[in-house]
Structure 1
Amino acid sequence: MQNVLKLDALTASPLKTDPYPYFSVAQAIDPEYVSDVIRDFPSIDDGGSYNVDDVATGPAFKQLIDSLDTPQFRQIICDKFDVAVMDLPMMVTLRGYSRKKDGRIHTDSKTKVATILLYLNDDWQAETGKLRILRSADDMEDYVEEIAPGPGSLLAFKVTDNCWHGYPSFEGKRQSIQINFLTSEAAGNKHRFFHGLSAKLKSLFK
């Protein structure tokens, strides 16, 4: 299997610890594959998260997903954040559309050990919609770094009590993959159930 991730770039990216442990890579996907992966991103016209298993994906996109669930990728997360994720369940969810209400400041739940966000948009010209690494729960302007959701940009962070993040309100197409390493299989089943239920309800009320 061809690994379409630029593992060397992920390994080389410096770990930052202010205000919590994270690292980012501007182009985390091999340039030879990124256009095909974006082309194969599932058509998602509603807000919210979808389980990757609940949507139809093309071959290039599936190849990317397969590249994420490998010992090499897991080892990078272990080494960066000093966490043991080699045997933890991995959950993959997708977002394709940002609503005005999305992007509000939040931390991730304690059932998640690490979060990786991989953006799959051809380009990003909008001023808003860029993810911010934030210092607090109540000030979107108090940020240490801003990540443009462009073609293959990646952000990974260790889930902590203060892992505040969000983005200024944006409405429109905003494609991303979220990868989470979870504390237990039970936590994974719970997350997948609620994401799946949400998707079914959206399809019923379209």
Structure 2
Amino acid sequence: MIYLDTAAFEAAQVDQKPFPHLLVENFISGENVARIAADFPYLPGPGAFPPRALRLRAHFASLIDELCAPWLRQAVEQKFQLDLAGRPLIWTARGFVRERDGAVHTDTRSKVVTLLLYLNEGWTGAGGRLRLLRSRESLDDPDVEVAPEGGTLLVFPRSDNSWHGHLPHAGQRRAIQLNFMQDVKVARREQARHLLSARAKQCAASLRIIKAK
């Protein structure tokens, strides 16, 4: 692996509170984060953008290849004692959040495991830090708070109590979200939904540029 620190992943321990999760700091070195950030694809706004909506360049494309390699699937299986055979892996790129984003939620049942890899070069604000919560009642009762700093990886199996969210932040917040999905049909439907949304956002951005001229 050129970008991913497999030793850091293997050394990290699963924390059971407030729900099973794995936090790997420096999964990517700061030097490599800078290289990948320079090749981060153009995104016209907030939301999730699937591969077919993106133009992938050098370092970012190579990072995706490493993330989609069999090693990561096997490592997640071992950490959480899961069998991910037949669970397709999908990914999306996210570049911005809106003030209204970050509400408390659990992921949909179509997702078996979520992996969030952050690609921001430093993070100083109070908003935008992902909070792992004891309940759905409040963002103010976190067990864990994760700053979305470049190279930080968070992994957690989806459950009915995997509540998470973040305080408001408006602006850039780069991440790659990967999900092991329930089955191929669900994975295709999810990617198609993201693609339709991404195309609409790209068209809207193009219209704004034309009108501004």
Q: TM-score, normalising length from structure 2?
A: 0.92
Structure 1 residue matching 2:144: 3-state secondary structure: strand
Give the CA deviation at 1:190: 0.7
Aligned match of 1:170: 169
Moved over 4 A (4+): none
Q: What is the aligned-residue identity percentage?
A: 35
How far has the Cα of 1:45 moved from its partner?
3.6
Quote the offset at 1:86 in angstroms: 4.3
User: Which residue matches 1:46?
Assistant: 45
Q: Could you tell me the TM-score, scaled by structure 1's length? A: 0.95
CA–CA separation in structure 2 for the residues paired with 1:204 and 1:60 = 27
The residue type paired with residue 149 of structure 1 is: P
- Structure 1 stretch displaced more, 79-88 or 20-29: 79-88
Instruction: Mark the runs of 5 or more structure 1 residues left unpaired by the alignment.
Output: none
Q: Deviations 1:166-190 (Å, cap 9, x if unpaired)?
A: 1001000000000000110001011
CA contact (8 A) 1:132 1:147 kept: yes
Secondary structure of 1:117 counterpart: strand
Structure 1: how far apart are the matches of 2:85 and 2:27? 21
State the shift of 1:111 in Å.
1.1
Does 2:14 correspond to 1:15?
A: yes
d(CA) in 1 for partners of 2:88 and 2:7? 24
Q: Measure, in 1, the Cα distance between the counterparts of 2:76 and 2:183.
A: 17
CA RMSD of aligned residues (A): 1.3
* 1-structure distance, mates of 2:202, 2:44: 11
Note the alpha carbon deviations across 1:24-51, whole angstroms, 9 max, x for none.
Answer: 0121114442211111111224111110
- What is the one-letter code of the residue matched to 2:98? R
- Residue-by-residue CA offset, 1:43-70 (whole Å, 9 max, x unaligned): 2241111102311121100111011112
The structural deviation recorded for 1:13 is 0.6
8 Å CA contact 1:71–1:86 kept in 2: the answer is no
- Tell me whether 1:55 sits opposite 2:54 in the alignment: yes
Mapped to 2, the partners of 1:200 and 1:34 lie a distance apart of 27
Gap regions ≥5 residues in structure 2: 206-213
SS, match of residue 198 in structure 2: helix
Give the Cα separation in 2 of the matches to 1:200 and 1:118.
Answer: 24
Structure 1 Cα separation of the partners of residues 111 and 46 of structure 2: 22
Name the aligned partner's letter for residue 136 of structure 1. S
| Bigger-Rg structure (1/2) | 2
For the pair 1:112 / 2:111, whether they are aligned, the reply is yes
Partners of 1:3 and 1:20 in 2: how far apart? 31
Secondary structure (helix, strand or coil) at the match of 2:151 reads strand
Cα 1:123–1:30 change in 2 (3 A) is: closer
The question of whether the paired residues in 2 share the 8 Å contact of 1:10 and 1:25 is answered with yes
